[in-house]
Amino acid sequence: MYPSAGIPAAHGDTKTALAKTVSGISGLDDITNGGLPEGRPTLVAGKAGSGKTLFAMQFLVSGATDYNEPGVFVSFEEREEDLIKNVRSLGFDLPQLIAEKKIVLEHIQLEQSEIEEIGDYNLDGLFIRLAYAIDSIGAKRVALDTIETLFASLGNEGILRAELRRLFFWLKEKGVTAVVTGESGQGNNLTRNGLEEYVSDCVIYLDHRVNNEVSTRRLRIVKYRGSAHGTNEYPFLITPENGITIMPVTTLGLMHEVLDEHIPTGIPRLDTMLGGEGYYRGSSILVSGTPGTGKTSIAATFAEAACRRNERCIYFTFEESPGQIIRNMRSIGIDLAPMADAGLLTIHASRPMTHGLETHLATMIKTVQDLAPDVVIVDPVSSLITAGEDLDTKSMLTRLIDYLKVNQITGLFTDLTQVEEASEQTRIRISSLMDTWILLRSIESGGEHNRVLYVLKSRGMAHSNQVREFVIADEGIDLLDVYLGPAGVLTGSARYVQEAKERAEAKDRAEELRKRKIELERKQKAIEAQIAALEAEHEAHKAEFERYSKRRELDEEVRNGYRRELARRRRAD
């Protein structure tokens, strides 16, 4: 169940100043700081139908079967055969326990005509029968149901108080841990006589109330001598599988361990927006939005992703049946049926008004305990408002969120917001309890509605602050970049038209660039041809110059030869 600082989990814990007996009633030992007072009587009071007899019987059966502590059950109203039949539906096999000498049932029928209110009235006959039953099996536990029947005809308060004290003192002397049931009294009296609560060491009050046509069972520890204990009211269930199960929610503290591991959301681009890896395992996630924005689709996608990792998922739904969810999700490419058939996915559907908030909480936690999931989805939490007030709903969800975190279970919660409400606000006001908050919105433009998504917060990780268009198609969910322009955010057809326009403009620019490139290449080739012609002309001029130069050199050489020959003939110096 719930971890709680300083609460012993076993019988006879040496750290507990007062010796205690483990009750065996799920959750009770947490809020009683270890169990009922050992060797002392405990009064369990309540109105008819509150669960007093079942409480006493479960205390005895648990001791006999789980802790080898035989017990005696004394009934002043129901016969043995009636008790056996009544508790058989809860899985208590009393005939077998009686045969094994672990349980003794005693029915003591008191006729009013046999009880006289005289000064020497006493309970010696009861003590003799009770002592024999205790000694016959070595009983450690005793239950008396109900004490009012024993003193129904006594009007003398002095005698009544004296005999009550004597009864409780006798039980202490026998060293048995006793549970004594009593009917509720009038006004502020917990019991009919208004005396039993004063002579009892521990007093537990059971309440079965009906508000707005919804019933809720609650338990409160009125007093516990010598021991600290929970003081609030605690919801409890009576189920065939477990009998009484109590929810000690106020023992929770902010001391749970956290994990650095990430798990995918099932939507790759959403993973990217959440630091590239998805949610933290064991964290709480809120997906809120107006009707039709895709909250259930995101939840179902996350459930599918968890099951594909071979993780177990519980999907609590308050608006759709399991078959409806499976059919609807199949339309977007998510087939949950094989996962449900394989036992990886459990869809638990119920109407919010079927039970009170506390019963819903107890049922959900009991389901989580039985199936030990890795992921829990609640869709939508806003429906629970119909089962209670806003503050009560927040309290109930706070307990559930804390329980999931303590057990390192990732919880995803969807919340429906109305169009007229502020989008960044939830009616139940649970956003502060969430580690990640994903907000979905519907934007109307160009005569159509389109969805957008953004991450409002995600504790402990860098996350995107960008708005993404949220598209639900036959193949599943995708996130697209929105178009941001002078007119604001464009989505849907407006985005498509704008993107088409930009593609056409880009194509025109590319065509213009191609033409300019061709013209440049043409001019370059023309210039290169001109350069080639000039180079050829230059080469021609150069060749002509070389030929002229050689002729000049040849002429000069001929003239020089002629001069030399002439000089020779003249015999010049």
Q: Which residues are within 8 A (CB) of 545 and not within 5 positions of it... i.e. 6 or more apart?
A: none
Distance, CA of 545 to CA of 541 (rounded, Å)? 6
Active-site residue identified among 106, 148, 311, 319: 319
Q: How far is CA 374 from CA 54, 126, 283, 435, in A?
A: 33, 54, 11, 17
DSSP-derived secondary structure letter, 226: T
Look up 565 and say whether it is catalytic: no
Active-site residue identified among 38, 77, 117, 311: 77
∠ CA 324-329-332, nearest 5°, is: 145
Among residues 69, 51, 52, the alpha carbon closest in space to that of 60 is found at 69
Among residues 253, 274, 273, the alpha carbon closest in space to that of 262 is found at 274
DSSP-derived secondary structure letter, 12: T
Look up 319 and say whether it is catalytic: yes
Count CB neighbours of 9 within 10 A. 13
Q: Which residues are within 8 A (CB) of 477 and not within 5 positions of it... i.e. 6 or more apart?
A: 266, 267, 294, 297, 298, 301, 332, 470, 471
Q: Where are the alpha helices (DSSP H) in 407-491?
A: none
Distance, CA of 518 to CA of 512 (rounded, Å)? 10
Distance, CA of 395 to CA of 397 (rounded, Å)? 6
Extract the runs of DSSP E, i.e. beta strands, from 502-553.
none
**Residue 56 structure tokens:** 């006493």
Q: Which residues are within 8 A (CB) of 182 and not within 5 positions of it... i.e. 6 or more apart?
A: 43, 44, 45, 52, 146, 147, 148, 190, 191, 192, 196
- The residues pairing with 216 across neighbouring beta strands, listed in sequence order, are 209
Catalytic residue list: 77, 319
